[in-house]
Structure 1
Amino acid sequence: MNTYFSSITKSILTVAFAMAAFQSTNAASLKLGDMCRLKGQETNSLQGLGLVVGLKGTGDSDAAPTARALSRMMQLMGGPMSVDSLGQLDVKDIGDAKNVAMVFVTAKLPAVGAQSGDLIDVTVNAINAKSLEGGYLMMTPLLGPRADNPTVYAIAQGAMRLSDDGNLTSATIQGGGKMEASVPAAFHDDGMITLVLDRDFASFDNTQRIEDEINSLSALTLGDSAGFQTQSTQDASRGRAQAIDQLHVRVQIPSIYRDNPIKFIALLLNLPIQLASHSSRVVINEREGIVVIGKDVEVAPVLVTHRNLRIEAGGVAGFVGVHDKVNEHDNAKLKNLADALNALDVPTSDLIAIIKTLKRKGDLFGEVVFE
């Protein structure tokens, strides 16, 4: 009997997600998965020190660390190496090697993690060499970002390709790293998942909207109103999601999905979220000369003079007027002022300067964002 009710509850939850998606699609909305990622699903870096051989006389010159590393590698590979009176490796024989360079090797693991045997791309950067052209990276162990963890996660080696930008001291090896240990990407912890919003969507308003959407959905499907008691009334009243700050929302995995959290996460990330309107925002990219003006940005009745031009937001005889007002008491729209300036061939740089002045003077009603 419990299995039957659990099955029905799952179906109701799935249908509710679909209904919410259908209803929200008619409004301005975005899928939750397009706004955030799960905590634990993030890129990780591996790093190591290696040796590059086969250079054309452009390697390290008189570098004692490179000579010691080369001597140690040759010793490990069974090569004959002389020792001094203290039993230490004598690096005099290879101290003037010009075709060898010590390099810093890095690799980035994808957000979904990596499994033993996977091939990953690696980046090689010279420390002292003049050029890495024609070089071959010898077998290099790659460790994690923590120096106190000696685990070798991958081994890198192979012929290098110089960077496309012409930099002779930076190169890549496509598929040059082989994972020796698995690096899983955890996505839940003790029945909880944490949503991390992308920086473009990070705000208290958006995290609160996400909390409300998830909790209203949970109340409909998992509370008493659905006819199936799956948790205590007290737990249901607390909701299943909680906004932590402007970046994070913590969500509890429902008990019916504890054994199948992937299904719940897939449904959750497809939940449409209605975003707050940014129609009262102006975004300016001065470097590229781009101005994006929301339709609801207004300006107070002002007179703008530009060289031999005079433009009044209000439309008085003798001036070029900026109209599009519902009645005489409404403010003019900034987009109409921008259209008027554009019609008079005013450069974008001057438009940006005018917007800055209006904002500084307090006559621009809206948010101005500089990128």
Structure 2
Amino acid sequence: MMLRYLLVFGIFIGSTHAYSQDKRRVRLADVCRLKGQEENRLQGLGLVVGLKGTGDSKLQPTTRTLARMVQSMGGNITSDAQGTPNLRELEAVGNVALVMVTATIPAAGAQQGDQLSCSVSALGAKSLEGGRLVLAYMLGPRADVPTIYAMAEGPVSLPDKTIPTSGVVHNGCKMEATVNNGFVQDNKVVLILDRDLASFSNAADIQDAINSFLQPSMEEGQYSLARAQDQLHIEVDVPPAYADKPVPFIKLLLDIELPNIKKNKRVVINQREGIIVMGEDVLINPVAINHKSLSIQAGGSPGGFVGFDPGSPNQPQPVLKNLVEALKALDVPTEDVIAIIRTLKRNGDLYGELVIQ
């Protein structure tokens, strides 16, 4: 077979067949979550009072909300013949603002009486500094079923003074109802694989690991407890012995070790910050790179005149990590390294996903 001879100046970028791998096994809990165990968002409208003249009382939604609150507390506001309050009486109020209030119920749920922190965002006010959130009804995500799950009130803190229109009420959202996030349905649980690890290979490996652990003596053709539905979901039957003990079963399930989980090959570049993140196993094709005064070969064998057959099946495969380290050792600017990586991907010489942020 004819060999092509290359004269290489600069630095040789070696391949890495034996790149280091972490031999420690991850648990199922490290890569999956239970369907049903998700965060839920509560939201509502409220009033912030006590502002320093930075409110939005000239907005009619604010004055209408304020009028209803004053009337509900026994305050006196003149009304017309139809009972509509006279909003002009409230136009001079400059220390009140209408805000959107949001709170997050944890994936494990929340019990009546739990105190959650909530965020407040001004709809028209210039600043919420020094304000206090007056009682706000917190509703669930379904507009067609307006259920009150919590009440929110308390002093507003500004985490970022440069954004005075957004604040936080620490532990100001009190749960008025219990929210339980169930995870067993029809005597089954569904595991959802982390999206960064989602693949048919990983889903099949997880299915096999669960079945090997729960059914060590399973024979060919026997009904399996775990079934991969796609690259993201694995359905698992709750064994009869755990039908009334779902928590011990989930603990047993999530503690299963996974020897073969595979991470998707990905390179993430943050251009603004000049950050490059990659795995050790991101491969590239053997290539020759000319960059300004440098000539760099990735792949082949080190030396002056070297024999290099890119079609050989035994040709070692170079690794992107080594190339990047060599470029940095030569003080190649980060923006040029990023440009080289993008060119490799565009040319089809980088095996993996390239994410530009």
Same fold? TM cut 0.5: yes
**Contact 2:57/2:90 (<8 A) preserved:** no
Quick one: structure 1 residues 69 and 282, their matched pair in 2 at CA, closer, same or farther if it must change by over 3 Å?
closer
Matched, 1:309 2:305: no
- 1:124-135 mapped onto 2 (5 Å cutoff): 124-135=120-131
Extract structure 1 runs of 4+ deviating beyond 6 A. none
Letter in 2 for 1:112: A
3-state DSSP of counterpart to 1:141:
strand
- In the alignment, what sits opposite 1:172? 168
Matched, 1:254 2:239: yes
Quick one: structure 1 residues 165 and 40, their matched pair in 2 at CA, closer, same or farther if it must change by over 3 Å?
farther
Q: 1:92 is matched with which residue: 79, 88, 91?
A: 88
**Contact 1:49/1:102 (<8 A) preserved:** yes
Matched, 1:59 2:44: no
- In the alignment, what sits opposite 2:3? none
Matched, 1:108 2:86: no
**Contact 1:286/1:349 (<8 A) preserved:** no
Q: 1:283 is matched with which residue: 267, 283, 301?
A: 267
Letter in 2 for 1:294: E
Aligned residue pairs total: 328
Give unmatched runs, 5+ long, in structure 2.
1-21
**Contact 1:195/1:248 (<8 A) preserved:** yes
Quick one: structure 1 residues 97 and 246, their matched pair in 2 at CA, closer, same or farther if it must change by over 3 Å?
same
Q: 2:73 is matched with which residue: 44, 54, 77?
A: 77
Quick one: structure 1 residues 162 and 343, their matched pair in 2 at CA, closer, same or farther if it must change by over 3 Å?
closer
Q: 1:239 is matched with which residue: 207, 224, 227?
A: 224
- In the alignment, what sits opposite 2:188? 192
**Contact 2:57/2:63 (<8 A) preserved:** no
**Contact 2:32/2:191 (<8 A) preserved:** yes
Matched, 1:353 2:330: no
**Contact 1:52/1:103 (<8 A) preserved:** yes
- Indicate the percent of aligned positions where both proteins have the same amino acid: 46
Deviation, structure 1 residue 369: 2.8
- In the alignment, what sits opposite 1:230? none
Quick one: structure 1 residues 316 and 150, their matched pair in 2 at CA, closer, same or farther if it must change by over 3 Å?
same
Give unmatched runs, 5+ long, in structure 1.
1-25, 226-232
Deviation, structure 1 residue 334: 4.1
- In the alignment, what sits opposite 1:299? 285
3-state DSSP of counterpart to 1:246:
coil
Scaled by the length of structure 1, the TM-score of the pair is: 0.80
- In the alignment, what sits opposite 2:7? none
Deviation track 1:1-41 (CA, whole Å, cap 9, x = no partner) reads: xxxxxxxxxxxxxxxxxxxxxxxxx9552100011111111
Deviation track 1:113-166 (CA, whole Å, cap 9, x = no partner) reads: 001111110111111111111111111111101112232110111111113252
Once the two structures are overlaid, the 10-residue window that deviates more, 253-262 or 69-78, is 69-78
Matched, 1:68 2:64: yes
Deviation, structure 1 residue 332: 4.3
Deviation track 1:179-212 (CA, whole Å, cap 9, x = no partner) reads: 1110111111121101111222222211111111
Matched, 1:201 2:188: no
Deviation, structure 1 residue 351: 2.6
Scaled by the length of structure 2, the TM-score of the pair is: 0.83
Letter in 1 for 2:225: R
3-state DSSP of counterpart to 1:74:
helix
**Contact 2:203/2:233 (<8 A) preserved:** yes
Quick one: structure 1 residues 75 and 286, their matched pair in 2 at CA, closer, same or farther if it must change by over 3 Å?
closer
Q: Distance in 1 between matches of 2:314 and 2:139?
A: 69
Deviation, structure 1 residue 48: 0.8
Matched, 1:161 2:147: no
Quick one: structure 1 residues 75 and 214, their matched pair in 2 at CA, closer, same or farther if it must change by over 3 Å?
same
**Contact 1:218/1:239 (<8 A) preserved:** no
- 1:325-364 mapped onto 2 (5 Å cutoff): 329-364=315-350
Deviation, structure 1 residue 353: 2.4
Quick one: structure 1 residues 353 and 29, their matched pair in 2 at CA, closer, same or farther if it must change by over 3 Å?
same
Deviation, structure 1 residue 250: 0.8
Deviation, structure 1 residue 70: 1.2
3-state DSSP of counterpart to 1:140:
strand
Q: Distance in 2 between matches of 1:284 and 1:72?
A: 52
Higher relative contact order (CA 8 A, sep 6+): 2
Q: Distance in 2 between matches of 1:84 and 1:295?
A: 75
Q: Per residue, is there more helix in 1 or in 2?
A: 1
**Contact 1:142/1:154 (<8 A) preserved:** yes
Deviation, structure 1 residue 172: 0.7
Letter in 1 for 2:66: L
3-state DSSP of counterpart to 1:311:
strand
